[in-house]
Amino acid sequence: MITLAALKARFRYDPLTGIFTYRCGQKRRAGKVAGTITNGHIQICIDYKHYYAHRLAWLYHYGIWPPDQIDHKDRNGLNNKIDNLRLASNRENMCNIGKTNVSNGLPKGVFKTSKGKFGAKISLLNKQLYLGYFATAQEAGEAYKQASLKYHGQFSPFR
C-alpha cells in the first residue's frame, strides 16, 4: 500500500477540483491528469497496483487511509473534490444510491402491485419496512422520499 510521502512525491492533488496530476520527475507525464475511468470511478495505477482516486484523495488530504468506505455525496464517482467525499459504512453508502429503480423505471422504493396500485418500502437494517399503498407512483415515491430522509438522514439521496 502506498504511503502518504510516496503519494505526495508522485502526484499533486487539487482538493477544489478533485484531480490528481503527475509531478515533475515522472518523465513525460509531468503536469498531466492521472487515472483512468473504471466502473464509474477514477483509478490510478501506482507500482502495478490500482487505487481508487477518492481513497487516495482522502489519504492525501487527511494523511490517513480511510478506515471504511468513502461515499460521494453527489453520487458522482468521478467527482473527487474533498468536500464531496465523506466516510461511510457499507450500509450508509448503499443508502446513497440513485433516486430511481433502473430495472423498472419507477421511483426508488416503489413497486407496482397486481391490483394496479403502487406500494412503497424502505430497507432498514436488513429489514423491509412497508410504507403503504398509493394510487400513483409519484405518491408512493414521495412516501419513500420522506422515509429516506427520516431514516437515512445525510446519506439519503434526497437530502
Helices (H), the chain: 4-10, 53-62, 90-95, 137-152
Residues linked to residue 119 through DSSP beta bridges, in sequence order: 111, 133
**Residues 10-60: tens digit of each pLDDT:** 999 999 999 999 997 656 788 899 999 998 999 999 999 999 999 999 999
Give the integer Cα–Cα distance in Å for 55 and 69.
8
Give the pLDDT score at 136: 94
CATH number of the 4-88 domain = 3.90.75.20
**Sequence ranges of the domains in the chain:** 4-88, 96-155
> CATH class for domain 96-155?
alpha beta
